[in-house]
Amino acid sequence: MKRVDLNCDLGESFGNYRIGMDEAVIPHISSANIACGWHGGDPMVLRHTMELAKQAGIGVGAHPGFPDLLGFGRRTIQITPQEAYSYTLYQLGALYGFARAAGLSVQHLKPHGALYNMAAKDLALSTAICQAIRDFDPHIILLALSGSKMLQAAQEVGILSACEVFADRAYNEDGSLVSRSLPGAVIHDTQECVRRVSQMVREGTVTAITGKTVPIRCDSICVHGDNESAVAFVKAIRERLNADGVEIVPLRRVVEG
């Protein structure tokens, strides 16, 4: 039976500001990417999200981003590889403290937002992120965009990696994500989302925004927690994949078998 991970970006609320529907999403996913306090999240939210993940028995991962609460980490910030290393290590350490207190291990790390998109195309930036993971714990899996420079960096640095696809985002012909500033970049229709996921998992392809079919590898499927359709998406995706004979499991079981 084919196995795939179903992940969601969670723990992104901050103080009195609520983002996403974490409690409703968590029962339907197998891995959580938890914000580390820079683009979203705070110590109380991080602790609460970790406890929810523990109760659900799902894998937990760090979701580090730029120090940009106002822009939710989706604005480009020019940084050096040395800064990328330190930013990653700092946020990974924050998440690790709460994971250890909850009796959990850190399964994976997935960069957030603009940092994710920049690293996907910048080998030096990707290498710095991977080096930070290796130096902290070489058993942590890098979760990265299928076909991106991050996967190359992970191989060169010598850490585990997994390919991620997006249920609720449109793709360019080169396999990158369509900019959120463009029409059609974010998918809100549940049926379209499920159809695309089934294609990516079963056929290893995705239909780009131009209509061209491009190859893609799917180890893990992401649904954004701040998408208002997130709960409907994860429920429908799980139902469709089960019908397709696909088992949904935490990322570690996909990567290591």
Per-residue pLDDT at 236? 95
Tokens of 74: 């989706």
Please tell me the total count of domains within the chain: 1
Query: Which domain, by its residues, includes 113?
Result: 2-256
Which residues, other chains included, contact 129 with Cβ-Cβ below 8 Å and sequence gap of 6+? 84, 85, 88, 109, 111, 119, 142, 150, 153
pLDDT mean over 217-232: 88
Cβ atoms within 10 A of the Cβ of 116, count? 23
Q: How many CA atoms lie within 13 A of 106 on its CB side?
A: 31
Per-residue pLDDT at 227? 74
Entry pTM? 0.94
Per-residue pLDDT at 228? 79
pLDDT mean over 238-257: 95
Render pLDDT for 90-145 as a digit per residue (tens, 0 to 9).
999 999 999 999 999 999 999 999 999 999 999 999 999 999 999 999 999 999 99
- Report phi then psi at 17, rounded to 5: -95, 125
pLDDT mean over 224-233: 83
Per-residue pLDDT at 199? 95
Per-residue pLDDT at 111? 98
Per-residue pLDDT at 158? 98
The closest of 160, 143, 153 to 81, measured between CA atoms, is 153
Question: CA-CA distance, 206 to 199, in Å (whole number)?
Answer: 7
Which residues, other chains included, contact 153 with Cβ-Cβ below 8 Å and sequence gap of 6+? 123, 126, 127, 129, 130
Per-residue pLDDT at 194? 94
Cα 163 to the center of its chain, rounded Å:
10
Segment holding 108, helix H or strand E: strand 108-109
Per-residue pLDDT at 257? 81
Per-residue pLDDT at 230? 86
Give the domain CATH number at 161. Answer: 3.20.20.370
Per-residue pLDDT at 226? 78
pLDDT mean over 180-193: 91
